[in-house]
Chain A
Amino acid sequence: MRALTDHAVTVLAILATLIVVTPLLVIFGYLVYKGASSLNVAFFTQTPKPVGETSGGMANAILGSALVLALASFIGVPIGIGGGVYLAEFGRGTKLANAVRFTADVLNGVPSIVMGLAAYSLVVIPQHHFSAFAGGVALGIMMIPTVCRTTEEMLLMVPHAVREAALGLGVPNWRSVLSISVKTASPGIITGCMLAFARVAGETAPLLFTALGNQFWSMNLNEPIAALPLQIYVYALSPYDDWHRLAWGGALVLIILIVLAVSLVRWVTSRGVLKGAS
């Protein structure tokens, strides 16, 4: 009977794993099936062509996405980590901390289109034009709550004994927080940042009236800029088969780039980890 239960639970666990993995594999497979054929050198080197001309690519959108996401991470990661450190280490139990935590949770639930509107009114309206910067701000604000709350959770998991060890050596509290607690929690904090990054990388809505999109090369943060999700959105809604194929290709590239970015960060941060470190 016990063996039977054991088997049953094992089977259930495997089943659950399959259910988790299947949608990802199906989506990815379908993207490869639909999109792989439109990937060629032109896709990665050329800007979009006008309707009627074949070929053309999304090179400017790939670059644009990279720029906007870099800007978003530049805003979202430090603020999020700073907030998380405050919540877990300095503000524990204070009214301000509770308010910050509540705000972060609410912010996490705000629809992404509203984030776009917020960035629109905060950046676009005062500047009187759309810009890559506005897009970065929108995505950056979206990253803050995820980064903040995972940072807090991960810091709270650092054993009390480790903090005491640092204090017992006469290390000032702030130094202990930065060099011991944050360092010990860093694998989890990095995971949180990657989650937030991957989530906003595919966002279209916040970019609609901030980054706007652009058919041409642009590296200027002060001008409208192309982004993969925007380009996919526009192409997928168009009536042209050629553009549909490019949209599938763009979606495939977007997923691959996210996977690459996450793997790269994991690889970089896992170097120098010691034998037996936990």
Chain B
Amino acid sequence: MGVGIAVLNLNAWYGANHTLQDINLNIPANHVTALIGPSGCGKSTFVRCLNRMHETNPIARVTGTVRIGDLDIYRDCKPVQIRRRVGMVFQRPNPFPTMSIYDNVCAGLKLNGYTNRRALDEIVERSLKASALWDEVKDDLKKKSGASLSGGQQQRLCIARALAVDPEVLLMDEPASALDPVSTAKIEDLIFELKSQYTIVIVTHNMQQAARVAEKTGFFLNGRMVEFDSTHKIFTNPSDKRTEDYITGRFG
């Protein structure tokens, strides 16, 4: 089951660049939350702060509190622990090129020392079914490399890989921006399916996509969160002038 995320006074820097300023919001459990905004507004940095990927960059710094479920992720645990509970799907599909489809899916488990083969078989099948890839790859699981799949399939493979470690939250950083419309539609259907079990946060450049998949939408601009509300409200009757300008295409 998904858990809610509470963000309090979150600030983030890259070197001297203050990329996130005083972010406060509550992301509801088992919903899809979309983050929109122009390039460089900090939305990617924001999701990377939710699984502590931000700090893998040596010049990056974070202050504030992020609570996932009842866990204060910057105080109560190590980065590797929180990343197992908060899965991430990146902008470009990034399967491990030397691994088979099967090994890609269970990489997170195997690399963390999990070796029960029968359980792994089950988890791989379940994860690939959950990411709607099973029927396309079930005959080549151990024969083909993850890199041999098409772009859309690779992205669904990456989703399966994230699901295999059984996270509670799924972060998606523009998961469909490198894909064609058919693959994009598949990913969006998938997001719709997955929200019953996971809390999903999706960064997107595509406002139609946000409108299609998300119940909640946050609008980011210049490192600040301008508005956070139900998607319907954001797209039909935003309270902030800047949000209205952005969604009507006046800038960005």
Residue contact A274 to B83, C-beta cutoff 8 Å: no
CA distance A114 to B148 in the complex (A): 49
Chain A nearest CB: distance from B45 CB in Å?
14
Q: Which of A162, A168, A179 contacts B83 (CB 8 A)?
A: A168
Give the CA-CA distance A183 to B145 in the complex, in Å.
Answer: 14
Query: Contacts A165-B96, A176-B111, A184-B97 known; A275 to B144 CB distance under 8 Å?
Result: yes
Q: B94 to A171, Cβ gap below 8 A?
A: no
B80 within 8 A of A: yes
Q: Say yes or no for A17: interface residue by CB 8 A criterion.
A: no
Q: How far is the CA of A20 from the CA of B23 in the complex (A)?
A: 61
- Evaluate whether A277 and B90 lie within 8 angstroms (CB atoms) in the complex, with A170-B83, A170-B165 already known: no
Docked-complex contact B90 and A171, CB < 8 angstroms: no
Chain B residues near A167 (CB, 8 Å)?
A: 53, 56, 83
Task: Please report the C-alpha to C-alpha distance between residue A209 and residue B100 in the assembled complex, in whole angstroms.
Answer: 50
| B69 CB, min distance to chain A CBs, angstroms | 16
Q: How far is the CB of B104 from chain A (nearest CB, A)?
A: 9
Q: Which residues of A contact B99 (CB under 8 A)?
A: 274
Q: Contact between B108 and A276 (Cβ–Cβ < 8 Å)? A: no
Measured between beta carbons, the chain A residues less than 8 angstroms from B143 are 274-275
**A105 at the binding interface (Cβ < 8 Å):** no
Q: Which A residue sits closest to B108, measured CB to CB? A: A169
Residues of B contacting A159 in the complex (Cβ-Cβ under 8 angstroms): 94
Instruction: Contact check, A184 vs B94: say whether CB atoms are below 8 A apart.
Output: no
- In the bound complex, do residue A179 and residue B144 qualify as a contact, i.e. CB atoms below 8 Å apart? no
How far apart sit A44 and B53, CA to CA, in the bound complex (Å)? 60
CA distance A59 to B101 in the complex (A): 48
**A175 and B100 contact, CB distance less than 8 A:** no
**Using Cβ atoms and an 8 Å threshold, which residues of chain A touch B95?**
165
Contact A277 B98 (CB under 8 A): yes
Chain B residues closer than 8 Å to A184, beta-carbon distance? 96-98
User: Contact: B94 with A276, CB < 8 Å?
Assistant: no
Q: Interface size class for chain B?
A: 20 to 34
In the bound complex, residues from chain A placing their C-beta under 8 Å from that of B92 are: 161
- Nearest-CB residue, chain B, relative to A167: B56
In the complex, which residues of chain B have a beta carbon less than 8 angstroms from the beta carbon of A276? 144-145, 147-149
Is the interface on chain A under 10, 10 to 19, 20 to 34, or 35 or more residues? 20 to 34
Q: Is the CB of B111 within 8 A of A169?
A: yes
Is B195 an interface residue when CB atoms closer than 8 A count as contact? no
State whether the Cβ of B156 lies closer than 8 Å to any Cβ in chain A: no
Q: Assess whether A168 is in contact with B51, with CB atoms less than 8 Å apart.
A: yes
Q: How far is the CA of A273 from the CA of B51 in the complex (A)?
A: 33
B98 touches A170 (CB 8 A): no
A-chain residues with CB within 8 Å of residue B83 when the two chains form the complex: 167-170
Q: Chain A residues with Cβ under 8 A from B165's Cβ?
A: 169-170
Q: How far is the CA of A273 from the CA of B97 in the complex (A)?
A: 10
List chain B residues, Cβ under 8 A from A274. Answer: 98-100, 143-145, 148
A23 contacts the other chain (Cβ, under 8 Å)? no
Q: How far is the CA of A170 from the CA of B107 in the complex (A)?
A: 10
CB within 8 A of A170: which of B80, B94, B144?
B80
What sequence of 0s and 1s flags, for each residue 53-94 of chain B, a beta carbon within 8 Å of any chain A beta carbon? Answer: 100100000000000000000000000111110011010101
Partner of B94, one of A161, A179, A277: A161
Encode B90-125 as 1/0 by CB contact (under 8 A) with A.
101011111110000001100110000000000000
> B49 contacts the other chain (Cβ, under 8 Å)?
no
Contact present for B88 and A168 (CB under 8 Å): yes
In the bound complex, what is the Cα–Cα distance between A273 and B165 (angstroms)? 26
A140-175 vs B, CB cutoff 8 Å, 1 = contact: the mask equals 000000000000000000010110111111111001
A162–B94 Cα distance when bound, in Å, is: 6
Residues from chain A with a CB closer than 8 A to the CB of B87 are 168-169
A64 to B148, CA, bound (A): 45
Compute how far the CA of A184 lies from the CA of B95 in the bound complex, rounded to whole angstroms.
11
Q: What residues of chain A lie closer than 8 Å to B51, measured between beta carbons?
A: 168
Residues of A within 8 A of B158 (CB): 165
Does B31 belong to the interface (CB within 8 Å)? no
25 contacts between A and B (CB under 8 A): A164-B53, A164-B94, A165-B90, A165-B95, A165-B96, A166-B111, A168-B88, A168-B90, A169-B84, A169-B107, A170-B80, A170-B108, A170-B165, A171-B108, A171-B111, A171-B112, A175-B111, A180-B96, A183-B98, A186-B98, A274-B100, A276-B145, A276-B147, A277-B97, A278-B97
For the complex of A and B, the 9 pairs showing the least CB-CB separation, nearest first, are: A276-B148, A169-B108, A170-B84, A170-B83, A277-B145, A161-B94, A274-B145, A168-B88, A165-B94
Chain A interface residues toward B at CB < 8 A: 159, 161-162, 164-172, 175-176, 179-180, 183-184, 186, 273-278
